[in-house]
Structure 1
Amino acid sequence: MTLLKSLTLASRILKLAPKESGLIRSNHRCFSQFTRLYNEQAPPSQPSPPKKKPLSRIPIGSNETAPQTTSDGSIEFSTWKAASLFLIVGGGLYYYFTKEKRRLEIEKEAEANRGYGKPMVGGPFHLKDSEGNVFSDKNLQDKFSIIYFGFTHCPDICPDELDKLGVWLDKLKSKYGTKLQPIFITCDPNRDTPEVLTQYLQDFHPDIIGLTGTYDQVKNACKQYRVYFSTPPHVQPEQDYLVDHSIFFYLMDPEGNFVEALGRNYDNETGVERIQEHVKAFIPKQEREKRKQRWYSFLF
């Protein structure tokens, strides 16, 4: 009999009992004793079983992502985090190896252009600058140099190329901090005296060094750099004539070795980038010789 049924029955007994005060009090005492005895014999209430936790690590009905940890406390990466990390690391490695591959290609080209034994382009020469000082191949040491062969009476090609050279010099210095030694060697020594060269080159760039000399000295310099030039026979300095010559810029490394000939296909932008690639890829001779003795020398 449950407690509720017992209480209901007791209530009904009280209503049916006589209303004399003595009997009511007696019935009241009986009801109190009955309630006390029932409470003593009733089993204790059992606690409600605990609710089971959901198997998912994300609370039911929640859109938030809970922190994910393993049994040892380390953080587990979700799929999108792992994908993001893969893309960042992979992109960085791809960029690095692409640039490194390009640098090795430029280095190989420069090494091939230096030649083995006697250089293919470049060699000893002795000329004079616009101030009358001796200028030779020794002055090409310890700095990158760029050499152009032309003449001051050139009507169009030489001015265009020297304008481009001035742009290269300024952009290399401002964009990369690279400073070249620009040299202009005349192919017309009969008319291009030091004074004429000084006045002529002022219109293009103040850093350009003008070189001249005797006809034989100029001819020897052109021969060393495989430069073609010709003047009409039996001409005099006061005559007006044109000189045929090759149109190239000769890039020389800090050891005085030929690196590359830049033709008219290089404009104001591509010429700057090409020169800077060679500057960054330059390795001193001592280091190049050491690398040839190592097992990975085939890469170079």
Structure 2
Amino acid sequence: MGAWRRLLASALVTGRSRILSPQSHHSRLLAPRLVDFFPGTPAAFQGFQGVQRRMSTTTAASSAADATSTAEKPLAEGVEGEETKQAKTEAPVSGEAKVVRRNPVSWLSFFLLVATAAALLFVFEREKKKALDAIRNKEMDVKYGPSVGKAAIGGPFKLVNHEGKTVTEKDFLGNWTLMYFGFTSCPDICPDELQKMVQAIDAVDKKSGLKIAPLFVSVDPERDSVEQMKEYVQEFHPRLVGLTGAPEDIKQVAKSFRVYYMKTGDEGDDYLVDHSIIMYLMDPKMEFVKFFGKNYTVDELSQGIMDEVKNHGKTKRS
């Protein structure tokens, strides 16, 4: 019986039975009774009670640690959740900062395109003007040699001057005359040539005292009325005479002086007239002496007129 009691006490002390767990309701109820039931083994039950106290202390410490961990976990999870949320929120922003959508056409490329187109247009217009000038100047770039016979240029005409008076070639007899064919709506060539004409006759007058009569004959009678011609010629020189007339009369005088003219880009009243760019020097009998092309400068034109006047007198005497 003594051995059995010791064996049972040892089993209870080592804690192999789950009912003797310090947290067990049965352990709390049985411990006092076991001491009474096993009076012969005080040391064993005192050891059992020590183990029980130690197990209670360990369990309490473990429960406190679990409580602290449980309390800190939501806080940590909250902090981690906020950081994760912020990272997730910032991540797309950072990605968008790296990914830049570029326009397929930048301002620089657009500017270069416009500049290139403007340069090409400028070159095209310049080359076109050169080609037209070359064609027109073919008949003007003439190298003169000894004259043989008399050119069939000039003849009778009947036109209206810028004062509204009807005139013929006889009204200009007795004077050296310089004639130019053009039109008042001409954008650049006619004004340039008329300006060169009046400057040349002024130079001749200054150098030799010879007064040349300048004539401007219109090849655009539909638009160049008497009033239009009067307003136009007054802008160049007080002695410049403007001549216009009926289309048939203009056609006849242009034919007599071998003048080419033709409308271009006919759109109502908005059109240009392509024409010969030549000045005709006529002697006091209104007979043709020489023509001067666009390639002459003011000095060359004035000197050419004086040379022809001088040589004309010698030819007449001989």
Corresponding position: 1:138 with 2:170: yes
Q: Secondary structure at the match of 1:210?
A: strand
Q: TM-score normalised to the size of structure 2?
A: 0.52
State the Cα distance separating 1:185 from its structure 2 match. 0.2
Using the alignment, how far apart are the partners of 2:264 and 2:207 within structure 1? Answer: 43
- % identical aligned pairs: 40
Q: Secondary structure at the match of 1:122?
A: coil
Corresponding position: 1:152 with 2:184: yes
State the Cα distance separating 1:234 from its structure 2 match. 7.2
Given residue 278 of structure 1, which amino acid in structure 2 is its aligned partner? E
Corresponding position: 1:224 with 2:256: yes
Q: Could you tell me which residue of structure 1 aligns to residue 289 of structure 2?
A: 259
Unmatched segments (≥5 aa) in structure 1: 1-105, 292-300
Q: Could you tell me which residue of structure 1 aligns to residue 212 of structure 2?
A: 180
Greater Rg, structure 1 or structure 2?
2
Q: Could you tell me which residue of structure 2 aligns to residue 247 of structure 1?
A: 277
Q: Could you tell me which residue of structure 1 aligns to residue 301 of structure 2?
A: 271
State the Cα distance separating 1:139 from its structure 2 match. 2.2
State the Cα distance separating 1:240 from its structure 2 match. 1.0
Given residue 256 of structure 1, which amino acid in structure 2 is its aligned partner? M
Given residue 161 of structure 1, which amino acid in structure 2 is its aligned partner? E
Given residue 164 of structure 1, which amino acid in structure 2 is its aligned partner? K
Q: How does 1:87-102 map to 2 (within 5 A)?
A: none
Q: Could you tell me which residue of structure 2 aligns to residue 84 of structure 1?
A: none
Question: RMSD across aligned C-alpha pairs, in angstroms?
Answer: 2.2
Using the alignment, how far apart are the partners of 2:236 and 2:177 within structure 1? Answer: 17
Given residue 251 of structure 1, which amino acid in structure 2 is its aligned partner? L
Q: Could you tell me which residue of structure 2 aligns to residue 283 of structure 1?
A: 313
Unmatched segments (≥5 aa) in structure 2: 1-143
State the Cα distance separating 1:235 from its structure 2 match. 6.2
1:195-248: CA deviation from partner (whole Å, max 9, x where unpaired): 101111111111110000000000001000000001259765xx1100010000
State the Cα distance separating 1:157 from its structure 2 match. 0.3
State the Cα distance separating 1:264 from its structure 2 match. 1.2
1:178-202: CA deviation from partner (whole Å, max 9, x where unpaired): 1011000000000001110111111
Using the alignment, how far apart are the partners of 1:258 and 1:108 within structure 2? Answer: 16
Q: Which has the higher helix share?
A: 2
Given residue 288 of structure 2, which amino acid in structure 1 is its aligned partner? F
Tell me how many residue pairs correspond in the alignment.
Answer: 175
**Structure 1 runs, 4 residues or longer, greater than 6 Å off:** none
Q: TM-score normalised to the size of structure 1?
A: 0.55
Could you tell me whether the CA contact under 8 Å between 1:153 and 1:242 is conserved in 2? yes
